[in-house]
Structure 1
Amino acid sequence: MKKLLAICFVLLFVAVQAQIKKVEPAFWWKGMTESKLQILLYGDKIASYQVELSEGLAIEKVEKVENPNYLFVTVDTDKIDGRFFTLYLKKAGRTVDSYKYELKERQANSRDRRSFSSKDVVYLIMPDRFANGDESNDSVKELTEKADRSNPNGRHGGDLRGIINNLDYLHSLGATALWLTPANQDNEKRTSYHGYAQTDLYQIDRRYGTNEEYVELSNELQKRGMLLIQDYVTNHWGISHWMIQDLPSRDWIHQFEDGEGAYGFKRSNYRTTTQLDPNASDIDTKEALNGWFDTTMPDLNQSNPFLLNYLKQNAIWWIEYANLGGMRVDTYPYNNKEAMAEWVKAITKEYPHFNVVGEAWMYSPAHIAYWQKDSPIAAIDGYNSNLPSVMDFTLYTDLSSALKEQESWDKGMVKIYNALSNDLLYTNVNNIMVFFENHDTERWNEIFESNPKAYQMALTLVSTIRGIPQIYYGSEIGMRGKKSLGDADIRHDFPGGWKEDSTNAFISDKRTVVQKEFYDITSKILNWRKSKDVVHNGKTTHYMPENGVYVYFRYNSKDRIMVVLNNSEQTQKLSLSRFAQNLEGSIEGTDVVSGNRVDLKADFLEVSAKTSLILEIQ
């Protein structure tokens, strides 16, 4: 009987000790600008227990929500001495569970960390499709979707170790910052490789690696003078996220009374201009912002104060933990804009120089500029996003059509000219991201059938105009893909990232002739750009395109460069007297790519058909 009672006591003790199932964030840091920390405690009916801290320490606040499985405990970290304190869960004065909480020491100069800027070239990678450096994590027992490289929409096995193994390739290419599509756990049943339906915001997906490997990647980048940019999603989570499966409150996500299924699903109408349209109807606005991206992506309600604080702290946790050099925020205008202004402000309060770029996929420069910090356009309705950077979707949209169209009053290269003529709308024109493709678009080399001249023209443009250039993995070796065939076709595996691949574009002498031509162009321009302050921060003068030729200058007090884009099918002779404003006193220019010298004292400059030039002026 005594033995039976002892066994029962042990079983009861173990059951009682399991009350705290999750603590988020699991640890924090001392010396943060914001000393108030809100800790989420999760467990069965945890709200029926009392919470106390280590002896002599006071809790600022304990808050309950609709779901009794949650408690939100606020502590003031400035009032805690030492590295550790203990959270006690009590019932009737008796401790039933506890958690030893750590306050780590911050890295030196963490607050004033460097972030990505116009000095950088951002290289975008989908981790699952870049390189498989650790085959042991291709499939994980506890995670639903297993590796199947034969399935275009499945997991292929690319991971963090594969990226770490190829950092020297990226460094040699001339990239200075790395943007990964989301690497946190995405445990959806299908198409989980893209990572945008996250199911745990504090864990790297184990099919990519571990949290420690993510930190290793960041550290290895910094050894090479490079930065890690995290892709952050505030608009939605995956429906398999543990908090979605047990909602803290009904208003944690947006639900529609006339919606479908248990969660009241209704798809977004995707008309985010309603966020700033003074004539927008209430129903259109609601369906745009509260509608879901997809059936597996519940739309988060950022106006819920507990959710908003959770997102603030999670973002800051990753910046501090992984020593991040920036963030890119997915689907920015789909969020509650007032809440997002708070979210960004919390980050930049903690890290004053930290850059955050928002994906505002809109087609009018005024609509895009609205989302940049201190925008006078947004000020019309009393709004300030606090968002430092936006993406230039106007330029992206116009660039491919400009190069394909016959020149006329409103077609051809004048579209690029017009795109840049809207620069007055941006409060910081040097801090906008410029690109000609990404993980959601048709591959540039598909549009132009792997034409190296068309590629060089696009690369020349984004590398020399104002802003932060971003290129997409594989562009530099001529990779192709049709959006019309589905997202998988624009997200092919990088050749050489898997041991069974027949070619290996990571290694110079194993590249095909086509891969080598594209790589050499890219490497030449990007490595030249690294040290050119005249490109990073210089002023711009551009000239109205004539005969399919667009010319612009970047200049500062010390240096000048002349960029020529001849999209014509014929060789063009440019009268240099037309550019006297920028060429006065010039003797010659040196072509960055070919090294050829150009006489700028001559009357004319002859430019071959479908050619781009970057001339450093002496």
Structure 2
Amino acid sequence: MRGKRVLALLLLPFLLFYSLPVQAVEKEDRTWQDEMIYFIMVDRFNNGNFKNDFQVNMNDPKAYHGGDIEGVTNKLDYIKDMGFTAIWLTPIFKNEEKGYHGYWTEDFYEVEEHFGTKEDVKKLVEEAHKRDIKVILDFVVNHVGYNHPWSKDAEKADWFHEQKEIANWDSQEEVENGWIYGLPDLNQENPDVENYLIDVAKWWIQETDIDGYRLDTVKHVPKEFWNEFSKEVKSVKKDFFLLGEVWHNDPRYISQYKEAGIDAFVDFPLYEQVSTTFSKVDQSQQNPYDVWKRNQAYYENPYLLGTFIDSHDTVRFTRKALQNKQHPGTRTKQALSYLYTSPGIPIVYYGTEIALDGGEDPDNRRLMDFRTDKEVIDYVKNLAQLRAELPSLTRGTFDVLYEKGGMALYQRTYKDETTLVAINNTSSTQVVDLEGDMFGEDKQLKGLLEEDIIRPVDGQYKVALDREKTNVYVVTDKKGLNTPYIVALVVVYVAFGLFLFLARKRRKKSS
């Protein structure tokens, strides 16, 4: 028995060495396009402090439900374990009554008391940074709450645009000056307003060490303001990230705000196509891919776009799948497969990992449930691991090799690493033939999401995939007999035999 243990110890280093995949590309410095963002509506995520649970009514979808900043901190390990490298929180500033969502600001310098304190925010950021997780806060500069004290102050009348709803959404002037849902619209052309908003934005960075802002309602604020805002906040912290919300389906319109110093934008055109394509089977993947081709034409760095399948402003992806009489877990896995393997920064709305259901606002903001099936969670972990380990999935080219009726093969290439992504979005098993020399001589495809090895047969790779499945293959050198491995085994066995021989000889001599 002791001899077997010794043999196992001798073999272990060799077995480990030869079982690990070869990393084709050296690990480079992490950039924002390498991140994976988990988006949290603070009030609906996790209750960490019951002492701030006043005016909580979980039966009212428009009331506070008890989630808070401490609750987010308590779940950082859960978030980390799924592979997320950044979190985005809905606004945490003090809101007026029933402003559970955070978009009705009452005081920019105070934390909403239902959510906690500034010290809770600082602790969250500190704990997140210990886990190598970045923190993005939602920031609203377009408007304030319905009853904000400024709106009652005659001396601050010029802090707001004239009360008027937007009638013509094609008029940029109306879009920037009109009131949305009756919320008092701030006049950023007023230097006092501009200075106040910029100062408070810089203050939160200095006080809490956050890493970025998600900028709400960007198109409703003049570009001149964003230029100054971007320059000032980025002077406070190196690599501070600005992610803009420009709700529009034309990338030409969205991309013009890059000139205002905003780093990236949430990709609404892609959302429309991905959520439609993957919420049912037998749908062509050409439309999502066409969005990528357009993005390349209009954005300086389209890899920074935030990609998503649902959010706090849309119906849940699960609801779309259910409306199409589809299994939401399977559909969610397929949609996330596309997000994690295509260019862009995946943004996953809390609850997506448990296929949480929800219709229009506020039904799409249900309380998170941590006691559900882990099937999608485990799948997200696997996707995140691949995306973290393969630079080609975050920085590589993105080319479609095959697409027919929902079965698609995409090639991602970065430096010496080539990845093949196969997504079968159909209701039947699919087999696709690829030319055997297209990746070079003596190559094979190694499946990582589903274990598989594909070598050329009769001059062709046959990529076979079950219905509603995805696999990610890395192109590696074809392996025949592993001579170094065999030699190493022989050496180990000879050494072990010699060890036994000498041990017996020693025993005989002593006896």
TM-score normalised by the chain length of structure 1? 0.68
| Matched residues, number | 441
Of the three residues 416, 437, 440, the one matched with 1:584 is 440
- Offset of 1:600 from its aligned partner? 5.1
* 1:616 matched to 2:474: yes
Question: Does the CA contact (< 8 Å) of 2:265 and 2:306 recur in 1?
Answer: yes
Question: Does the CA contact (< 8 Å) of 2:164 and 2:179 recur in 1?
Answer: yes
* Alignment correspondent of 1:433: 306
Structure 1 residues 539-564: Cα deviation after superposition (integer angstroms, max 9, x where no partner): 22223522322221111123221111
- Offset of 1:216 from its aligned partner? 0.4
Question: Does the CA contact (< 8 Å) of 1:200 and 1:242 recur in 2?
Answer: no
* Alignment correspondent of 1:313: 199
* 1:452 matched to 2:367: no
- Offset of 1:446 from its aligned partner? 1.7
- Offset of 1:597 from its aligned partner? 3.0
Of the three residues 104, 123, 136, the one matched with 2:38 is 123
Aligned-partner residue type, residue 214 of structure 1: V
- Offset of 1:245 from its aligned partner? 3.0
Of the three residues 317, 322, 346, the one matched with 1:469 is 346
- Offset of 1:135 from its aligned partner? 0.8
Q: Tell me the secondary structure at the aligned position of residue 539 of structure 1.
A: coil
* Alignment correspondent of 1:230: 137
Alignment partners' CA distance in 1, 2:88 and 2:419: 28
Aligned-partner residue type, residue 440 of structure 2: E
- Offset of 1:317 from its aligned partner? 0.9
In structure 2, relative to structure 1, the CA distance for the partners of 1:270 and 1:482 (3 Å cut) is farther
- Offset of 1:586 from its aligned partner? 6.1
In structure 2, relative to structure 1, the CA distance for the partners of 1:322 and 1:116 (3 Å cut) is farther
Structure 1 residues 349-384: Cα deviation after superposition (integer angstroms, max 9, x where no partner): 343522101001111122222222xxxxxxxxxxx2
Aligned-partner residue type, residue 105 of structure 2: Q
* 1:412 matched to 2:284: yes
Alignment partners' CA distance in 2, 1:435 and 1:540: 18
* Alignment correspondent of 1:60: none
Percent of residue pairs identical: 29
- Offset of 1:406 from its aligned partner? 8.2
Q: Tell me the secondary structure at the aligned position of residue 249 of structure 1.
A: helix
Question: Does the CA contact (< 8 Å) of 1:116 and 1:177 recur in 2?
Answer: no
Q: Report matched runs for 1:111-260 at 5 Å.
A: 117-139=32-54, 146-187=55-96, 189-190=97-98, 192-246=99-153, 248-255=155-162
Alignment partners' CA distance in 2, 1:234 and 1:437: 23
* Alignment correspondent of 1:524: 382
* Alignment correspondent of 1:567: 425
Question: Does the CA contact (< 8 Å) of 2:454 and 2:461 recur in 1?
Answer: no
- Offset of 1:565 from its aligned partner? 1.6
Structure 1 residues 45-78: Cα deviation after superposition (integer angstroms, max 9, x where no partner): xxxxxxxxxxxxxxxxxxxxxxxxxxxxxxxxxx
In structure 2, relative to structure 1, the CA distance for the partners of 1:571 and 1:115 (3 Å cut) is closer
Alignment partners' CA distance in 1, 2:387 and 2:286: 25
* 1:421 matched to 2:293: yes
* Comparing 244-253 and 305-314, the one that deviates more: 244-253
Alignment partners' CA distance in 2, 1:367 and 1:464: 26
Aligned-partner residue type, residue 308 of structure 1: E
- Offset of 1:593 from its aligned partner? 2.5
- Offset of 1:480 from its aligned partner? 1.1
* Alignment correspondent of 1:490: 364
- Offset of 1:248 from its aligned partner? 4.2
In structure 2, relative to structure 1, the CA distance for the partners of 1:248 and 1:339 (3 Å cut) is farther
* Alignment correspondent of 2:178: 291
Unaligned 5+ segments in structure 1 are 1-113, 140-145, 256-264, 275-283, 373-383, 496-503, 506-510
Alignment partners' CA distance in 2, 1:221 and 1:397: 32
Question: Does the CA contact (< 8 Å) of 1:115 and 1:353 recur in 2?
Answer: no
Alignment partners' CA distance in 1, 2:456 and 2:147: 63
Q: Tell me the secondary structure at the aligned position of residue 374 of structure 2.
A: helix
Alignment partners' CA distance in 1, 2:43 and 2:381: 24
Alignment partners' CA distance in 2, 1:116 and 1:310: 30
Q: Tell me the secondary structure at the aligned position of residue 588 of structure 1.
A: strand
In structure 2, relative to structure 1, the CA distance for the partners of 1:248 and 1:347 (3 Å cut) is farther
Alignment partners' CA distance in 1, 2:465 and 2:316: 27
* Alignment correspondent of 2:401: 543
In structure 2, relative to structure 1, the CA distance for the partners of 1:347 and 1:476 (3 Å cut) is same
RMSD value over aligned CA atoms?
Answer: 2.1
